[in-house]
A and B are shown apart, each in its own frame.
Chain A
Amino acid sequence: MIRSDIVRLYKTVHTWTGISCGFALFIAFYAGALTMFKEPIARWASPPAVGVAAVPLDDAPRLLELVAAAHPQAREEGIKLHLRGHENEPARVTWEEDAPHEEGQPHDHVHWWATLKPDGTLLAQPEEPSELADFINEIHMSVGIPQAAGLPLMGLVSLLYGVALIAGVIVLLPTLVKDFFALRVGKNLKRMWLDAHNVVGITALPFHLVMAITAIALCWKGELWSAQEVAIFGDRQAILMDRDNGPFEVPKPTGEAAAMMAPAQLLRKLEEQVPDLQPSFLVFKNYGDTAAAVRVPGAERGHVGDTHLGGVMLSAVTGDVLKDGALPSRQDPDRRAAETLYGLHTGQYEGLTIKWAYFFLGLAGAWLFYTGNLLWIETRRKKARDGGAVEQSRSTRLLGSATVGVCLGCVAGLSLSIVAAKWLHGRVADLNHWHAVVYYVVFLGSIAWAFARGAARSAVHLLCLSAAATMAIPLTTLTALLFPALGMWAHGSAATLGVDVVAFMGALCFAWMAVATLRRTRHGPADSVWSIRKPGQASALSTPVPADA
């Protein structure tokens, strides 16, 4: 049995770590849940393009040769050959080149795509792809604060989040059996929210522990590197880093020309040698050289793993496997452990089922932090005494407003940022910049609104805004379909339709929450921060209605 003084102590630890991290974690989890469908969102946001189908795989060798000859930098940096025919693959091949660089500015890249004209000549064009999905991922990683400050901050948040998890479990342990199997829906609202908070927290505990651990390692990559350099390695860390990067290192070009194996044949050779690898795309390095190599990232059936960096490297001349140290089934035990942890963070295993599970776990996590804040407020809520009106304290009112503004501002901001991908395409010069503008305007505006109008009123307004912004996603697609003259598009693939369908259902959920909140603000206990009535004032209805959420 855990002593009551320990439980009390850890309750304080849980409260303060939770309250201080709640906002950042809500944003990280909500945006993180969306990144599970990064790929479909990127496809949804990509304008119609030439596409992969314009150049059959059998004609790819000619396209690769022309690109390698005309773009020496692409040859060096790697020419990406697309295989899947997704909407976010603008053509059969793409690559990046360095943008003209100004002193003191960060290095920038120009994205190119290339296809074959009907007469067999090369058509190559620079065009920036939609970075919407990357923007959502950035919000997930650093909650919208510039990364130089945002990542270290999120490292700290993750550390405190880990402590909050341990503290929460210690607090719950003595009454776990009693509390865990009970969701007491009823008059005592605080009890119900606490029960729900506990059920969601405990059932998803392994998920949350993995997230806390991996997020610290990912956010504080640089800081931990420096700490390791001082404490563990002296100045010999570089040797180990080189060894770690071994499986990804490309052979040096020899300068002698060689005939390249055709991509179709390379894929057959790959199938023979590594049957379980499902290639996402091929990257040709030093095309035309005797030491030319092909990186083949992809998922390996039956393994958790990095589907972006992992995979194998083939010789582009013979198709033989050059390196397979990054392939899940052939990794050394330490790399396997590391990559499994990373894969557990990013939901990279066994395809769609886990992606959906992570999507809901992420949303449930966001909800956990939202309810955590609510519980803090409810705990501090002063109960109206017989006849006496009670004013809520400043701290509970401010935290109520902040919770509503930050959480719902993030939801509405992300939805409208997604919508902007179609409405602003072709109408603004730098669409990728506008994704951020839309998000920040909505996010900051929502916070301002929440403080101006108070938690109760603004919660209803902002939930309506979230519902409308999210509903705008499928409506935009519908509009594009009905009015082609607007210059928008409606892709028909299952993945992009999935984005519309999920957004539609999400919008209904937000609308339902708006209605429930409205009811509570009108008929719930008047002394709550969630009420729009003055304490002591009678319910808007003649008969009192029991408050429900």
Chain B
Amino acid sequence: MAGEIRPDWWGKTSAGAILGLGLALSLTGLYAYLGPGGIDAPGGRYSLMRFLEAFVWITVFGFCFLFRSGRAAWAWLGAANLIAFAALFACRFHFFA
């Protein structure tokens, strides 16, 4: 990594809060559809989802200040969100056609 890391408080905080939640929901959603047993897995998976979402959200939010700038945080996390949500919606249409 070259160059000083920029604080960009508003850019990074908003990226962590918003895109962190997006990534939390999409990744947890993917686990709900594609985890062992799939969407018809025994009931307990549903109880677990909120904990997984909280875990991903905190992790993304906590580490997003490592991005070089607010712009970089939005770009990388935005791209990750796009991919994860694309996969999630593909699952939704596949399983709930």
Contact = CB atoms under 8 A, between A and B. Distances in A.
Given A6-B5, A216-B57, A332-B45, 14 more contacts: A6-B66, A159-B58, A162-B61, A166-B63, A213-B55, A227-B21, A233-B92, A234-B96, A240-B39, A243-B42, A244-B44, A244-B46, A334-B45, A338-B47
B54 interface: yes
A228 B25 CA distance: 7
A308 interface: no
A13 interface: yes
Contacts of B41: 332, 334
A341 B41 CA distance: 19
Interface residues of B, number: 41
A216 B46 contact: no
Interface string B49-86: 11101110111011101100000000000000000010
Interface string B15-40: 01100011001101100100110010
A217 B44 contact: no
Contact of B44 (A158, A167, A233, A338): A338
A13 B5 CA distance: 14
A79 B81 CA distance: 50
A333 B41 CA distance: 10
A245 interface: yes
Interface of A: 3, 5-6, 9-10, 12-13, 158-159, 162-163, 165-167, 212-214, 216-217, 220-221, 224, 227-228, 231-234, 236, 240-241, 243-247, 325, 331-339, 341
B63 to A, nearest CB: 7
Contacts of B17: 159
Given A213-B51, A236-B96, A341-B51, A243 B5 contact: no
Among A158, A231, A336, residue most surrounded by chain B Cβ atoms (within 10 Å):
A231
Given A166-B63, A228-B25, A232-B29, A213 B54 contact: yes
Contacts of A337: 44, 48, 51
Nearest to A16: B9
B2 to A, nearest CB: 11
Among A159, A165, A241, A339, residue most surrounded by chain B Cβ atoms (within 10 Å):
A159
Given A166-B58, A231-B25, A338-B51, A9 B42 contact: no
B48 A338 contact: yes
